């Protein structure tokens, strides 16, 4: 993944908006900054987990299993909850099984049906990782007040709700040019219903 280290300043964004009138300079600036911070946070999480011999994908599978009653789930349910393909989940499960952190439980009546169980070693790995993770997360977030966290959560929910307009293809019922049909483009704003 490309990690843009040199974020454009307002003069650069103004140059682009001169050529592309659809560009909302402040929206682009905040969007790029958010992408940058998200990338940096993901890299920091990778660094934390690698100290414990884990990658994010495998860690998430262990977390998802720990959330389940008896630490058991199906590969398809894990894939759905993790937002990955079933093939990707199979690869994650294979690696965790090799390390003894999960076990495959085959149905006695139909060996094609399989469940995944968090093992004692998997729980021990989480017990090793989670205090370090929570300490680092607390330190990362300590300069952000509770009120700011609440405000940020609200903003992130709004952004999440707008993702469908960003990813929509032409003809999917989202009119991405509606905001620019007024006579005064500078006062137009995009809003979703």
Which pLDDT tens digit goes with each residue over 98-134?
999 999 999 888 777 899 999 999 999 999 999 999 9
Contacts of 78 by beta carbon, 8 Å cutoff, 6+ apart: 61, 64, 65, 89, 93, 116
The CA angle 107-112-114, to the nearest 5 degrees, is: 50
Residue 69 lies in a domain: yes
> What's the mean pLDDT in 66-93?
94
Is the confidence at residue 74, as pLDDT, over 80?
A: yes
Looking at the chain, the whole-number percentage of residues with pLDDT higher than 90 is 61
Is the confidence at residue 179, as pLDDT, over 60?
A: no
Residue 55 lies in a domain: yes
Contact indicator for 22, 16 with CB cutoff of 8 Å: no
Residue 85 lies in a domain: yes
Residue 110 lies in a domain: yes
**Residues of the domain holding 109:** 24-143
Hey, what are 182's tokens?
């007024």
Residue 159 lies in a domain: no
Residue 151 lies in a domain: no
Residue 58 lies in a domain: yes
pLDDT digits (tens, 9 = 90+) for 11-53: 888 888 888 888 888 899 999 999 999 999 999 999 999 999 9
- Residue 22 CA to residue 20 CA, distance in Å, equals 5
Domain count, the chain: 1
Burial of 36 (0-12, 13-18, 19+ CB in 10 A): middle
Residue 128 lies in a domain: yes
CATH of the domain at 43: 1.10.10.10
- Residue 58 CA to residue 92 CA, distance in Å, equals 6
């Amino acid at each position: 993944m490309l990690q843009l280290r040199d974020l454009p300043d307002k003069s650069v964004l103004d140059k682009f908006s001169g050529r592309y009138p659809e560009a909302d300079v402040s929206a682009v600036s905040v969007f790029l900054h958010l992408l940058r911070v998200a990338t940096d946070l993901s890299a920091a999480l990778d660094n934390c987990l690698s100290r414990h011999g884990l990658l994010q994908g495998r860690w998430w599978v262990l977390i998802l299993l720990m959330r389940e009653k008896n630490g058991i789930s199906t590969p398809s349910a894990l894939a759905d909850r993790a937002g990955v393909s079933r093939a990707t989940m199979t690869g994650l499960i294979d690696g965790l099984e090799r390390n003894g952190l999960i076990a495959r439980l085959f149905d006695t009546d139909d060996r094609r049906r399989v469940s995944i169980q968090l093992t004692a070693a998997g729980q021990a790995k989480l017990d090793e990782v989670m205090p370090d993770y929570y300490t680092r997360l607390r330190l990362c977030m300590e300069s952000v007040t509770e009120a700011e966290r609440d405000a940020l959560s609200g903003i992130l929910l709004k952004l999440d709700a707008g993702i469908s307009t960003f990813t929509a293809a032409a003809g999917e019922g989202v009119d991405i040019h509606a905001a620019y049909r007024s006579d005064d483009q500078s006062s137009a704003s995009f809003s979703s219903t």
